[in-house]
Chain A
Amino acid sequence: MKPAPFDYCAPTTVEQALALLTEHGDEAKVLAGGQSLVPMMNFRLVQPSVLVDLNPIPDLAYIEPDENGGLRLGAMTRHHQVEVDPMVAERMPLLHEAMPKIAYPQIRSRGTIGGSISHADPSAELAAVSVALNGRFRLRSPKGERWVPAQDFFIGLFTTILQPDELLVEVALPPLPARTGGTLMEVARRSHDFALVGVAAVVSLDGKGACRQTRMVFLSAGDRPMEAHRAADVLAGQIPTPEAIRAAAEIAASDDIDPSSDIHATAEFRRHLAKVLARRALEQACRRAAEMK
């Protein structure tokens, strides 16, 4: 399974990369970690005429604190770097929890967070987590830069709002509010397969222990990360009792997701799993939120 021929470009600056993308438009594909793109090229499912390799560009991989207590991560940061970074573990425990669930160790050596997010596989942990954490993405094109909230970035199956001449360059995650807990739970056939269904849940409690804000985002439950708005509404201002959580989980599974059937699971089974995971994830997130000061 060998890829079809292509022209290879190794720009050394983002501007050069953007110029190449502008020049070649749809004929070009961006190569980041290659862990999703190269298999597709080996299967000849995609056959770009031009490959623009971002790896030689320095300064696109970094993990930095921002002054508010959040994090900024360069798009070419390898999964593995994020996985072992102590600042990530401290400031974004949900992200830290999510990283080891991404594929296998060798994929994480090479795969990048920007690549994963831009690829927009609805099964991607990072897509769901970045939405759940209220993340924002900095996009750059020859025309300039713009910030897009994560929830607006994913618009369909493997489809984002990225223009052909635009690159994702940074992921910004705001600091977690006080009394916030989160978790990522998945059900997968083998420990590192794409999840049959997964959910990232982040809950912030108020002084009385009621849900001030809930974000629950499902992966593998639709054509993009599926945010459970109705479930969040059900919990807004409520004390997260087992009954309240159960009700939210029910609504999430029945109303907020649109899973499909494939050889691994039917839509019905995915909905069932979504309900179970939503319940468990909310319980866990609320427990963790209550433990936070």
Chain B
Amino acid sequence: MPKLFDLALTVNGTRFEQAVEPRTLLSDFLRHDLGLTGTHVACEHGVCGACTVLLDGEPVRSCLVLAVQAHGHSVTTVEGLGSIEQLHPVQEAFRQAHGVQCGFCTPGILTTVVAFLDDNPDPSEEEIREALSGNLCRCTGYQHIVDAVQLAAKNTKTAHQQPAR
């Protein structure tokens, strides 16, 4: 019997406690133990970025983090960004710009972009593509994704420019 680790962490604002095998990848823990299947697994060797989540606000490959390493930390997945009834502004921008086709790479891109725009609210196209270089997409050729990020940045800027009422 493998020795289990008593894992306690916060995911999308909710605290979870569970005993897990140390070798359980964070991606599998989120998807199968917590049922948060929005985070997708596509390569399990850290290249494609589909599994990207925010760990204490920083974008990381959840397939390269052991679930036990998230003990005491806070994770945000795509489910924590917005809901169907209320899309996060970045999600809304992706909808407007047709930045989604099959949707498999999308959650990893959304978390990456949310973190990126936090640090870089007014990026150039080159900076956007650099920021996306760790997220592979086979459907879109990236163009509408880049458009979506530009739109999200613009919308946020406009929102901040609205005079407070």
Contact = CB atoms under 8 A, between A and B. Distances in A.
Interface of A: 1-8, 10, 31, 34-35, 38-39, 42-43, 51, 53, 55, 80, 100, 103-107, 109-110, 190-192
A104 B134 CA distance: 5
Contacts, number: 93
Interface string B95-128: 0000000000000000010001000000000000
Contacts of A55: 69
A234 B58 CA distance: 46
6 contacts: A2-B28, A3-B25, A6-B23, A38-B66, A43-B45, A100-B130
Contacts of B116: 105
Contact of A107 (B22, B66, B130, B134): B134
Contacts of B3: 7-8
A42 B45 contact: yes
B55 interface: yes
Contacts of A106: 49, 52, 59-61, 112, 134
Contacts of B63: 38, 42
Counting chain B CB atoms within 10 Å of each CB, the highest count among A53, A55, A103, A105 belongs to A105
B44 interface: yes
Given A53-B69, A104-B49, A105-B133, A38 B23 contact: no
B13 to A, nearest CB: 20
Given A35-B46, A43-B45, A51-B66, 18 more contacts: A1-B45, A3-B25, A4-B23, A5-B21, A6-B23, A8-B66, A10-B68, A35-B61, A39-B46, A42-B63, A53-B68, A100-B130, A103-B134, A105-B134, A106-B52, A110-B61, A110-B64, A192-B134
B60 A3 contact: no
A191 B23 contact: no
B8 interface: no
Contact of A39 (B5, B45, B58, B131): B45
B36 to A, nearest CB: 18
B151 interface: no
Nearest to A104: B134
A178 to B, nearest CB: 33
B163 interface: no
B2 interface: yes
Which of B2, B3, B52, B66 has the most chain A CB atoms inside 10 A of its CB?
A: B66
B65 interface: yes
B93 to A, nearest CB: 19
A8 B52 CA distance: 23
Given A1-B44, A1-B45, A34 B65 contact: yes
A42 B27 CA distance: 12
Interface pairs A-B: 10 shortest CB-CB = A104-B134, A8-B22, A39-B45, A109-B58, A38-B64, A1-B44, A106-B59, A3-B23, A110-B60, A42-B44
Nearest to A39: B45
A34 B62 CA distance: 11
Contacts of B112: 105-106
A183 B22 CA distance: 42
Contacts of B64: 34-35, 38-39, 42, 110
B148 to A, nearest CB: 17
B74 to A, nearest CB: 14
Interface string B63-82: 11110110100000000000
Interface string B127-146: 00011011000000000000
Contacts of A6: 22-23
Given A1-B44, A35-B64, A51 B22 contact: yes
A109 B55 contact: yes
A110 B23 CA distance: 18
Contacts of B45: 1, 39, 42-43
Given A38-B46, A109-B60, A104 B133 contact: yes
A107 B131 contact: no
B48 to A, nearest CB: 10
A208 to B, nearest CB: 40
A6 B133 CA distance: 33
B1 to A, nearest CB: 10
Contacts of B131: 105
B22 A192 contact: no
